[in-house]
Amino acid sequence: MSANTPVIELRNVDKSFGPIDVLHEISLKVRAGEVLCLLGDNGAGKSTLIKTLAGVHAPTRGEILVDGQPTTFDGPRDAQDRGIATVHQFGGTYPLMSIGRNFFLGMEPTKGFGPFKVFDRAKANRIAVEEVQKMGITRITDGDRLVGGLSGGERQSLAIARAVYFGARVLILDEPTAALGVKQAAHVLRIVNEAKKRGLAVIFITHQVMHAMTVGDHFAVLIRGAIAADFRKGEKTREEITDLMAGGETMADLEASIEGYMETHEGHPPKVAPAE
Amino acid sequence: MDMISSVLRRPAAASFLSLLGVLIFYVIFGGVDLGKLAGAASWVNYAARIGIVALPVALLMISGEIDISIGAMIPAGAMTTAIIAGHYELPMILAVIAALAVGVLVGLFNGLLATRTSVPTLIITLGTLVGMQGIVLAGSKLLTGAASVPLNAPDWAKTVFGDFIFGGSHQVVIIWWIILTAVFWFLMHKSKYGNWIFAIGGDKVSAKNAGIPVDRITILLFIGTATSASFVGMCHAILFNSAQVSGGMNDIFNIIVSVVVGGVLLTGGFGSILGVFIGTITFAIVIKGIDFTAIDRNWANLIIGVMLLAAVGMNETFRKKALTAVTKKKKG
pLDDT digits (tens, 9 = 90+) for A225-265: 888 778 887 777 777 777 777 665 555 566 667 677 777 77
Q: What are phi and psi of B164, to 5 degrees?
A: -100, 140
Greater confidence (A2 vs A25) lies with: A25
pLDDT value at residue B75:
92
Chain B residues near residue A148 by CB distance under 8 angstroms: 323
A65 has which bridge partners? Answer: A9, A70
Greater confidence (A266 vs B52) lies with: B52
Asked if B328 lies within 8 A of A110 by C-beta distance, the reply is no
pLDDT value at residue B332:
33
Among A115, A114, A91, residue whose Cα is nearest residue A105: A91
Asked if B325 lies within 8 A of A118 by C-beta distance, the reply is no
Give A132's contacts (C-beta < 8 A, 6+ positions apart): A99, A103, A140, A154, A157, A158, A161
Q: Which residue in B has a C-alpha nearest to residue A143's C-alpha?
A: B329
pLDDT value at residue B220:
96
Helix (H) or strand (E) holding A110: strand A110-111
What average pLDDT score do residues A199-217 get?
Answer: 85
Chain B residues near residue A93 by CB distance under 8 angstroms: 203, 206
Give B269's contacts (C-beta < 8 A, 6+ positions apart): A94, A95, A96, A97, B62, B64, B198, B201, B202, B203
A interface residues, B as partner, C-beta within 8 Å: 54, 56, 76-77, 80, 86, 88, 92-97, 101, 104-106, 108, 110, 116-119, 141-142, 144-146, 148-149
pLDDT value at residue B152:
84
pLDDT value at residue B3:
59
Nearest-neighbour CA in chain B from A80: distance (Å): 8
Nearest-neighbour CA in chain A from B110: distance (Å): 25
**CA–CA dist B303, B315 (Å, integer):** 18
Choose the closest CB to B324 out of A54, A104, A149. Answer: A149
The 10 Å CB-count burial string (b at 16+, else e) for A113-130 is eeeebbbbbebbbebbbe
Q: Which residue in B has a C-alpha nearest to residue A94's C-alpha?
A: B202
Asked if B329 lies within 8 A of A141 by C-beta distance, the reply is yes
DSSP string, B255-266: HHHHHHHTT--T
DSSP state of B246: -
Asked if A56 lies within 8 A of B325 by C-beta distance, the reply is no
Alpha helices in chain A (DSSP H): 46-53, 76-81, 99-103, 121-134, 152-165, 182-197, 209-215, 238-245, 251-264
pLDDT value at residue B328:
45
Chain A residues near residue B328 by CB distance under 8 angstroms: 141-142
Are A238 and A210 within 8 A, CB to CB? yes
Choose the closest CB to B195 out of A56, A92, A101. Answer: A101
Q: Is pLDDT above 80 for B194?
A: yes
Q: Is pLDDT above 50 for A154?
A: yes
Give B315's contacts (C-beta < 8 A, 6+ positions apart): B11, B14, B263, B265
Nearest-neighbour CA in chain B from A231: distance (Å): 31
What average pLDDT score do residues B295-314 get?
Answer: 84
Q: Is pLDDT above 60 for B186?
A: yes
**What does the pLDDT look like over B30-85, one tens digit per residue?**
777 777 777 788 889 999 999 999 999 999 999 999 999 999 999 999 999 999 98
Among A110, A104, A105, A111, residue whose Cα is nearest residue A131: A104
Are A42 and A207 within 8 A, CB to CB? yes
Are A221 and A245 within 8 A, CB to CB? yes
Are B218 and B107 within 8 A, CB to CB? no
Among A2, A1, A10, residue whose Cα is nearest residue A222: A10
For chain A, percent helix, then strand, then coil, each to nearest 5?
35, 25, 40
Chain B residues near residue A156 by CB distance under 8 angstroms: none
Give A255's contacts (C-beta < 8 A, 6+ positions apart): none
pLDDT value at residue A91:
57
Greater confidence (B98 vs B145) lies with: B98
Are B264 and B184 within 8 A, CB to CB? no
**What does the pLDDT look like over B238-287, one tens digit per residue?**
988 888 887 667 888 899 999 999 988 888 888 899 999 999 999 999 88
Nearest-neighbour CA in chain B from A36: distance (Å): 22
DSSP string, B96-152: HHHHHHHHHHHHHHHHHHHHHS-S-HHHHHHHHHHHHHHHHHHHHHHHHSSSEEE--
**What does the pLDDT look like over A58-83, one tens digit per residue?**
888 888 888 888 888 887 778 888 88
Nearest-neighbour CA in chain B from A12: distance (Å): 25
**What does the pLDDT look like over A83-107, one tens digit per residue?**
888 887 665 678 888 888 888 887 7
pLDDT value at residue B58:
95
The CA radius of gyration of chain B, in Å to the nearest whole number, is 20
Distances from the Cα of B14 to the Cα of A34, B301, B303, B328, angstroms: 51, 19, 16, 24
Q: Number of helices and strands (H, E) in chain A?
A: 9, 12
Asked if B192 lies within 8 A of A141 by C-beta distance, the reply is no
Handedness of CA A184, A185, A190, A194 (dihedral sign): positive
Are A172 and A116 within 8 A, CB to CB? no
Are A174 and A86 within 8 A, CB to CB? yes
Greater confidence (A54 vs B76) lies with: B76
Q: Which residue in B has a C-alpha nearest to residue A142's C-alpha?
A: B329
Asked if A96 lies within 8 A of B198 by C-beta distance, the reply is yes
Among B108, B102, B40, residue whose Cα is nearest residue B237: B102
Single-letter amino acid, residue B201: G
Instruction: Give the 3-state secondary structure of A229-265.
Output: EEEECCCCCHHHHHHHHCCCCCHHHHHHHHHHHHHHC
10 Å Cβ neighbour count for A43?
Answer: 11
Asked if A97 lies within 8 A of B265 by C-beta distance, the reply is no
Single-letter amino acid, residue A94: Y
Give B128's contacts (C-beta < 8 A, 6+ positions apart): B69, B72, B106, B109, B110
Distances from the Cα of A187 to the Cα of A135, B32, B85, angstroms: 10, 60, 69
pTM of the model: 0.82
Q: Which residue in A has a C-alpha nearest to residue B183's C-alpha?
A: A116
The CA radius of gyration of chain A, in Å to the nearest whole number, is 21
Chain B residues near residue A108 by CB distance under 8 angstroms: 192, 195
Choose the closest CB to B191 out of A56, A80, A119. Answer: A119
